[in-house]
């Protein structure tokens, strides 16, 4: 999947909603795209990938630390005009693992052999994104797309009447907990 693609397929969403015709394909495609962008905003990252390296500019966090967008491979990696060299650039998270889970992209570059302060900004050329979209991300996007689709049945957030009164739709905490490990927090620099 390329950067910007939805995290699930139209057919996956239709299967979950037991839809066999094509009458609602445009609405479902839109819901899936909106859900995927919502996942990106919640997590502050993009989970698909590019297969062609492109350059982006970043401000150095410290003299030896550069926080960058996620990238999934060292192929074609160039940092500040220098091809990736493992004796100079230490990529983190180490071994692509977070909390014992493999498959994470790199998003921190430590410069063991130089000083990032020599540049106003540092250009990094990489293949951006994740090698594979995590299953929890795909699941969260599909569940959210289902909820978006069903919102037309719940005007003003009211799903229906129950014996005890109106039933209101609330934020889905299950989705939040599924995505919490993938949430990238903003870094405050003093």
User: Structural domain of residue 177, as residue ranges?
Assistant: 10-47+133-182
The pLDDT, as a whole number, for residue 168 is 44
| pLDDT classification of 188: cutoffs 50, 70, 90 | very low
| pLDDT classification of 172: cutoffs 50, 70, 90 | confident
25-43 and 135-150 are packed helices; what angle lies between their axes, rounded to 10 degrees? 130
To the question of pTM greater than 0.75 for the whole model, the response is yes
Q: Give which of 94, 80, 184 is closest to 126, Cα–Cα.
A: 80
Q: Give which of 152, 142, 132 is closest to 172, Cα–Cα.
A: 142
Q: How many CB atoms are located within 10 Å of the residue 114 CB?
A: 14
Residues 82 and 111 in one domain: yes
189 lies in some domain: no
The SS3 assignment for 154 reads: coil
The pLDDT, as a whole number, for residue 179 is 93
The pLDDT, as a whole number, for residue 118 is 59
Average predicted confidence (pLDDT) for the chain: 86
The pLDDT, as a whole number, for residue 189 is 43
Of 126, 147, 171, at which residue does a domain stop?
126
Residues 137 and 122 in one domain: no
The pLDDT, as a whole number, for residue 1 is 62
Residues 37 and 68 in one domain: no
Q: Residue-wise over 62-92: b if at least 16 C-beta within 10 A, else e?
A: eebebbbbbbbbeeebebbeeebeeeebbbe
- 6/120: higher pLDDT: 6
187 lies in some domain: no
pLDDT, tens digit (0-9, with 9 covering 90-100), for 78-113? 998 889 999 989 999 999 999 989 999 999 999 887
Looking at the 3D structure of the chain, how many domains does it have? 2
Residues 59 and 117 in one domain: yes
The pLDDT, as a whole number, for residue 164 is 46
Residue 148: φ, ψ to 5°: -60, -45
pLDDT, mean of residues 121-140? 95
Residues 121 and 138 in one domain: no
| CATH number, domain with residue 156 | 1.10.3230
């Amino acid at each position: 999947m390329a950067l910007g693609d939805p995290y699930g397929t139209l057919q996956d969403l239709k299967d979950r909603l037991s839809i066999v015709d094509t009458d609602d394909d445009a609405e479902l495609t839109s819901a899936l795209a909106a859900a995927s962008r919502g996942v990106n905003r919640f997590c502050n990252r993009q989970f698909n990938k590019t297969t062609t390296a492109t350059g982006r500019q970043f401000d150095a966090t410290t003299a030896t630390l550069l926080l960058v967008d996620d990238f999934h491979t060292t192929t074609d990696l160039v940092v500040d005009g220098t091809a990736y060299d493992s004796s100079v650039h230490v990529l983190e998270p180490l071994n692509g693992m977070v909390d014992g889970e493999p498959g994470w992209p790199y998003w921190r570059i430590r410069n063991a052999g130089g000083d990032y302060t020599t540049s106003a900004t540092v250009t990094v050329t990489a293949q951006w994104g994740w090698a594979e979209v995590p299953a929890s991300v795909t699941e969260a996007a599909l569940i959210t797309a289902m909820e978006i689709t069903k919102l037309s049945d719940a005007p003003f957030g009211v799903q229906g009447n129950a014996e005890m009164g109106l039933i209101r739709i609330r934020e889905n905490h299950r989705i939040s907990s599924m995505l919490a490990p993938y949430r990238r927090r903003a870094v405050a620099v003093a």
